Amino acid sequence: MLDFLFGQLVATHATFDVVTLSDRTTQALAEDPWLAAGYALLGLAGVGGFLSLLGMALIYVERKVAAHFQCRLGPMRVGWHGMLQSVADAIKLLLKEDIIPDRADRVLFLIAPVFSIIATTLGLILIPMSPSLQVVDLNIGVIFISAVSSFGVLGILLAGWSSNNKWSLLGAMRAGAQFISYEISVTLSLLVVTLFAGSLQLSEIVQSQQDGWWIWRGHIVGLVAFFVFLIASTAELNRPPFDLPEAESELTGGFHTEYSGLRFSFFFLAEFINMFIASALAATLFLGGWMPFHIGGLHTFNGLMDLIPPGLWFAGKTTFIIFLIMWVRWTFPRLRVDQLMRLEWKFLLPVGFINLFAAATLVITKLYFFPW
Amino acid sequence: MSYIDPKKSSRSAIEVGGVPVNIVVAPRGATGDKREGLLTIFYKSVKSLLTGMKVTIGYLVRPSTVVTQQYPENRETLKMFERFRGQLRLVKDENGYMNCNGCDFCEKACPNGSIILQDRRNSVSGKSELERYLWRLDSCTFCNACIQACPHDALEWSDGFEAAVYDRRLLVYTLNDYAGPPVNHIKRFKKKAGTPEDRVEELLATMEPRHQYGGPTPLSGKGMPGVPPLKTD
Ligand code: SF4
Ligand code: SF4
């Protein structure tokens, strides 16, 4: 219809070639080892820099958004509208004394935060931010991410155990129980998209949304999977309203009660970057990742949408979901432990399973929107 | 499930001392009520969650709801809200005459003994009047009892909250800036038939200035630069 009205502006929409940083490294290895080393270094530095910069930016945004949700202004003093507040806080954290409790399990206590941050980094390298901006593109990407995110909770459990503090241990146990429960729902909704896309590779899942994003191409099933994923991953992130592992009013600080300085900042950073990863994953799986907004068949419309670079699409979608998670955090009260478990086992899990069966039916009958 | 059902509540109004009072009687739902269906519960919970989110996003998109003040940058324009209790102050009329006649009501009303009054008798009018109004901010709990007790509307709260000092003796204020007749006494004196103009002048001449820190101060009676020592009698 649009084609008819506006003429054939763009014949076919552009197809995107995915080139990851690891691909480039492998290619360059044959010709120029130095270039390969350069690419590898770029990847390492990029992930490291991205991790800390994004962490600081997210903390600043969170504080600002939270403040305005509560009729406050948030940080206003350091830099323009408090822009440099996170930098100041980071410097302060790095200069703080690193305290190890007297009867703590020293070795475990020291490596626990490292586990957390490593898990986060491993998740981050897989996120496809644009066709040319992805560090590694594993063919089992979805499985890898859910495996690696369980690694993070190992850090939390170790932290709680090794702190030799009852609050920490209680928080860690809660984190473990919460993670095991909600991981099921996350996986069930990941499986829905995997069924739709027919692939576990993140870049292929993005490519499969060329004609429309899964959240609405998969009828209501996609929508339900999206919300289940959002709720369950918020619970996995230990963010309010599911922040029982560090419930301040009950457990002081939960698993990171005894941590200070750099090690505390590892947990803190991991928590915020995990929020980014969860949002980016939700955007990638359900909202098309870096894929522009396409409607199958409308070439002109799709061509116009292609004018906006994929990186911007990804950033916009991820920002939207991050905002959604923050919005939920600053609106809802915290759940009780039994309510938390009831929500997962009695509601999300059955819904997830029914949804998965519906998705399988949908895939077999090929009843998508825009089946061409 | 038992819950309070706003739809079944009855409303009525009675008058207590001329003030209308609304009465809402909300019966609790019977404990044996039938459990709602799963879909109803789901619908209700989603609806209430969305209502909450609507409230918070309303604050986010309207910057006018922000209550934070950028103090001290906006020190010049800062306006405290109506019922703010800053510091105690004596009400003065446009001529600078105060309402307070030293009747002691506020001193008696204060639960902390934060108000200490000294009276004197005016030599011209023969009436009792205020000599010194001492207010101890250091022991005041800002309970408002003194203001409610005052029969002459002579006390009020100011907006000032910058009371931090390095010496607690500076927290004992003399609130009146003159010792002498209040505005009421002056008016009545003028109205008295056949009062010559110079008698009024004479009355006004009995006023003596009082400094904020001119009165006695605590701290074991010792003095400090600019503050005379405490007189204990
Ligand atoms: S506000 Fe209360 S405590 Fe303070 S001076 Fe008045 S009566 Fe006393
Ligand atoms: S302030 Fe009011 S109550 Fe207190 S002495 Fe003066 S007139 Fe009386």
Q: Is residue B79 part of a domain?
A: no
The predicted pLDDT at position A12 comes to 43
**Predicted pLDDT of residue A4:** 40
Q: What angle do CA A34, A37, A39 make, to 5 degrees?
A: 110
How much is the average pLDDT of B162-173? 82
Rounded alpha-carbon distances, angstroms, from residue A175 to A160, A278, B177: 10, 17, 65
Q: List C-alpha distances in Å: B4 to A20, B26, B37, B51.
A: 60, 6, 19, 19
- Domains in chain A: how many in total? 1
Residue A113 has pLDDT above 60, yes or no: yes
Residue whose structure tokens are 């009687």: B25
User: In this complex, which of B56, B67, B70 lies closest to A69 when CB atoms are compared?
Assistant: B56
Statement: residue A2 has pLDDT above 70: no
Amino acid at residue number A333:
P
Residue among B90, B101, B106 to mutate when testing ligand 2 (max atoms within 8 A of CB): B106
User: Is the same domain home to B104 and B184?
Assistant: yes
Query: A71, B65: Cβ pair inside 8 Å?
Result: yes
> E strands within chain B?
10-16, 19-25, 88-90, 115-121, 128-136, 155-157, 172-174, 178-179, 208-209
Question: Would A278 be classed as within a structural domain?
Answer: yes
**Is residue B24 domain-shared with residue B132, that is, in the same domain?**
no
B142 touches chain A (CB under 8 A): no
Q: Does residue B151 share a domain with residue B91?
A: yes
- What are the residues facing B224 on neighbouring strands? B227
pLDDT, position A36: 80
In 3D space, the residue among A355, A371, A354, A363 whose CA is nearest the CA of residue A198 turns out to be A363
Rg, Å, chain A Cα set? 22
Find residue B4's DSSP bridge partners.
Answer: B28
Helix, strand, or coil here: A102?
coil
> Could you report the per-residue pLDDT of A33-59, keeping only the tens digit for each?
788 888 778 878 888 888 888 888 888
Q: Which of residues 162-201 of B touch A (CB under 8 A)?
A: none
More confident: A295 or A313: A313
DSSP letter (8 states) at residue B6: G
What span, in angstroms and rounded, lies between the C-alpha atoms of B182 and B129?
7
The C-alpha of A67 sits at a distance from chain B's nearest C-alpha, in angstroms, of 9
- The model's pTM: 0.77
B121 with B182, same domain?
yes
- For A203-254, how does the pLDDT look when each residue is reduced to its tens digit (9 = 90+)? 888 888 877 788 777 778 888 889 999 999 888 888 878 887 777 778 877 7
What range defines the domain where residue A233 resides?
A: 18-365
Structural domain count of chain B:
2
Per-residue pLDDT at B218: 67
* Ligand 2 atom 8 nearest Cα: B103
Q: Which atom of ligand 2 is nearest to the CA of B133?
A: 5
Residue A35 CA to chain centroid, in angstroms? 31
**Alpha-carbon distances of A323 from A66, A79, A123, A315, rounded to whole Å:** 10, 23, 20, 12
Among residues A297, A304, A294, A292, which one has the least CA distance to residue A131? Answer: A292
Amino acid at A176: G
Q: Please tell me what DSSP assigns to residue B68.
A: -
Q: Residue A230: phi, psi to the nearest 5?
A: -60, -50
| Closest by Cα among A71, A74, A52, A72 to A62 | A74
Take residue A296 and report the two structure tokens written for it: 């199958």
Place of tokens 């911007």: A312
More confident of the two residues B205 and A291:
B205
Residue A332 to residue B63, Cβ atoms within 8 A: no
**Quick one: which ligand is closest to B130's CA?**
2
In a domain, residue B216? The reply is: yes
Reduced to 3 states (helix: H, G, I; strand: E, B; else coil), residue A138 is coil
Mutation probe of ligand 1 site: the residue of B133, B140, B144 with most atoms within 8 A of C-beta: B140
Q: Give, for B161, the enclosing helix (H) or strand (E).
A: none
How far is residue B94's CA from residue A241's CA, in Å, rounded to a whole number? 57
Alpha carbon of B157 to ligand 1 centroid (Å) = 11
Q: Do B52 and A331 touch (CB under 8 A)?
A: yes
pLDDT at residue number B220: 58
Q: Does the pLDDT at position A142 exceed 50?
A: yes
Question: Is B219 close to ligand 1, i.e. is its CB under 6 Å away?
Answer: no
Q: What single letter denotes the amino acid at residue B95?
A: N
SS3 A315: helix
Task: Mention every residue, 6+ apart, whose C-beta is less than 8 A from residue A169.
Answer: A160, A161, A163
Task: Choose the mutation target among A63, A65, A71 for the interface with B, i.e. most B CBs under 10 Å.
Answer: A71
Torsion on CA atoms B55, B57, B63, B69, rounded to nearest 10: 70
Ligand 1 atom 3: residue of nearest CA? B140
Q: Give the count of Cβ contacts less than 8 A between chain A and B.
A: 35
User: Does residue A60 sit within a domain?
Assistant: yes
Q: Let me know whether B99 and B52 are in one domain.
A: no
**Model pLDDT, residue A209:** 80
Considering only CB atoms, which chain B residues are within 8 Å of A230? none
Ligand 1 contact, B110 CB (< 6 A): yes
Q: Judge contact between B106 and B119, C-beta under 8 A.
A: no
Structural domain boundaries enclosing B112: 87-220
Q: Is residue B203 part of a domain?
A: yes
Q: Are both B52 and B102 inside the same structural domain?
A: no
Q: Please check whether residue B36 lies inside any domain of the structure.
A: yes
- Mean predicted lDDT score pLDDT of chain B: 83
Contacts of B108 (CB under 8 A, 6+ apart): B149
Q: How far apart are alpha carbons A162 and A108 in whole angstroms? A: 6
Which H/E stretch holds residue B143?
A: none
- Its ipTM equals 0.72
Distance CA A157, CA A206 (A): 34
Nearest CA in chain A to B68: A72
Backbone angles phi, psi at B140, to 5 degrees: -75, 140
Closest CA to A278 of A230, A238, A320, A326: A230
Q: Domain with B186 in it: what CATH number?
A: 3.30.70.3270
- Least Cα distance to A150 among A178, A121, A172, A183 occurs for A183
Say if the Cβ atoms of A76 and B70 lie within 8 Å.
yes
Residue keyed to tokens 């503090």: A165
Q: Average of pLDDT values for A140-146?
A: 86
User: Is the residue at B82 inside a domain?
Assistant: no
Report yes or no: A169 and A161 within 8 Å, Cβ to Cβ.
yes
% of residues, chain A, pLDDT over 70: 93
Distance, CA of B15 to chain centre:
28
Distance CA B184, CA B97 (A): 9
Q: For residue B63, is the peptide bond before it cis, meaning its omega torsion is within 30 degrees of 0?
A: no
Residue A176, in any domain of the structure: yes
B81, part of any domain: no
Which region holds residue A81: left if phi is over 0, alpha if psi is between -120 and 50, else beta? left
pLDDT surpasses 80 at B82: yes
Instruction: End-to-end CA distance of chain A: give it in Å, rounded.
Output: 16
Ligand closest to B113 (CA) is: 1
Most A CBs within 10 Å, among B56, B62, B65, B71, to test the A interface? B56
DSSP class of residue A265? H
Residue corresponding to tokens 């001449």: B205
Q: Considering only residues 55 to 84 of chain B, which have any Cβ-Cβ distance to chain A shorter than 8 Å? A: 55-57, 59-60, 63, 65-68, 70
Q: Copy the structure tokens of residue A223.
A: 């929508």
Closest CA to A334 of A247, A254, A251: A247
Give the pLDDT band (50/70/90) at residue B29: low
Do residues B132 and B35 share a domain? no
CA distances from A269 to A135, B28, B40 (A): 20, 48, 40
